Amino acid sequence: MRIPLAHVLASLSIACTLQVRAGEQDIHRMLSDALVCKGNPAETVYGLVQRGSDFEAGYAAHGFGDGTSYRAVAVLRKPLDFVGAQASAVMSETENSQFDFRAFTYARFEGDYRHAVKVLKLQAAEPFTDTSLGRFVSRQPSPSQCPPTVTLTPVDDKHFLLGCGWCNGG
């Protein structure tokens, strides 16, 4: 049985498209997990920088600075969707750069922060203290421990920061 070359090429094109989409979905899943403290959040973003930008997998990554001022960013072709809110990039940094938000791996989302707080079951935290990670945080086993903590801080009515930090009250 002979298969026309056009059919073979069309099949290969579909297979490659599905593989690219799967790669993009994998990147989105990895970054979503990092934002809610699954795995090693910082290494997820740093790993993308080390691998280099992969436009077929749907991202560009770059790291800059050094030591305590190192920052890495993964910019996404398609926005990351999290409970109806969207973010176009995920940052990881060794030094906090946001006011009243101390996550080391985070994204700035456009959407309703209240829905994210509800879905993640975050608790209101005392803002603007030396030990607060953000306005809302995941439940902590003990204030003397430094577990990875999901943290969220509203920026305004339509934007919020969400990410993973640690040493909440420790």
What domain range includes position 120?
5-165
Name residue 63's beta-bridge partners: 72
Residue 63 lies in a domain: yes
User: What is the arithmetic mean of pLDDT over 112-122?
Assistant: 95
Please tell me the distance from the alpha carbon of residue 26 to that of residue 38, in angstroms, as a whole number.
Answer: 14
Residue 15 has pLDDT above 70, yes or no: no
Please tell me the distance from the alpha carbon of residue 98 to that of residue 105, in angstroms, as a whole number.
Answer: 12
Residue 170 has pLDDT above 90, yes or no: no
User: What is the arithmetic mean of pLDDT over 145-158?
Assistant: 88
Residue 105 has pLDDT above 80, yes or no: yes
H/E stretch holding 12 reads helix 5-35
Please tell me the distance from the alpha carbon of residue 103 to that of residue 63, in angstroms, as a whole number.
Answer: 17
Please tell me the distance from the alpha carbon of residue 62 to that of residue 154, in angstroms, as a whole number.
Answer: 26
Residue 170 lies in a domain: no
Higher pLDDT, 13 or 23: 23
> How many angstroms from the chain centroid is the CA of residue 133?
16
Please tell me the distance from the alpha carbon of residue 71 to that of residue 96, in angstroms, as a whole number.
Answer: 10
Residue 140 lies in a domain: yes
Look at the chain and report how many structural domains it folds into: 1
Higher pLDDT, 69 or 27: 27
Residue 48 lies in a domain: yes
Residue 157 has pLDDT above 80, yes or no: yes
Residue 91 lies in a domain: yes
What pLDDT does 116 receive?
A: 95
DSSP 148-168: -EEEEEEEETTEEEEEEE--S
User: What is the arithmetic mean of pLDDT over 40-48?
Assistant: 93
Residue 32 has pLDDT above 90, yes or no: yes
Higher pLDDT, 161 or 10: 161
What pLDDT does 166 receive?
A: 79
